[in-house]
Amino acid sequence: MVKKTQILVIGNNTNGCTPEHEKIAFEVGQEVGKSGSVLITGGLGGIMHAASKGAKSVGGITVGIIPQDDPSEANEFCDIVIPSGMGFTRDFLNALSADGVIIIGGGSGTLSEVCAAYMSKKPMVAIRSLIGSITPYIDGYLDHRENVKIHGVDSAQQAIKKILELINSKY
């Protein structure tokens, strides 16, 4: 059996998540599901909820790695819930579980996950039009080490195409 590609989608939680963020996240989730990849999120609201709903709408598999220890805290579109009980530390678990990361807006929690993915040299793409904590780094690097470039894209379709290209070029 071949391992399925695992794509982490990160961005704004319920606070700060606009209808535009939700629309893009839903479309990204759909594209992840259509690609046959497993969608991983932080399992809560906002981007995580919308992406999970999108993946489920096309029959995709969704995993929510939540910071709490109670699985009932996850959104209803998570097929598999991993209640980490780790609080913010779960950001590292999310990043390390992914083969690649798609970033949709976001705040400090998103930036934490991006930093974890960057240190682990995970391929990343970010939606350019949605301003967030990662905006200054799109089409560049987080620091002088240049571990992994954060590629900017303009749509959900471009996001999945580019992240799969980056993942597949690693192996």
pLDDT at position 80 is 98
Q: How far apart are CA 75 and CA 88, in angstroms?
A: 18
Cβ pair 138, 126 in contact under 8 A? yes
Task: Give the fold, CATH level 3, of 6-169.
Answer: Rossmann fold (3.40.50)
pLDDT at position 16 is 84
pLDDT at position 9 is 98
Alpha-helix residue ranges (DSSP H) falling in the chain: 19-34, 47-57, 90-97, 108-119, 156-169
Per-position pLDDT tens, the chain of length 171: 789 999 999 999 988 889 999 999 999 999 999 999 999 999 999 999 999 999 999 999 999 999 999 999 999 999 999 999 999 899 999 999 999 999 999 999 999 999 999 999 999 999 998 888 999 999 999 999 999 999 999 999 999 999 999 999 965
* Alpha-carbon radius of gyration of the chain: 14
**Can you give the pTM of this predicted structure?**
0.97
Structure tokens at 105: 């807006």
Cβ pair 4, 37 in contact under 8 A? yes
Tokens 């390390």, residue located: 96
- Domain positions in the chain are 6-169
Query: Residue 108, SS3?
Result: helix
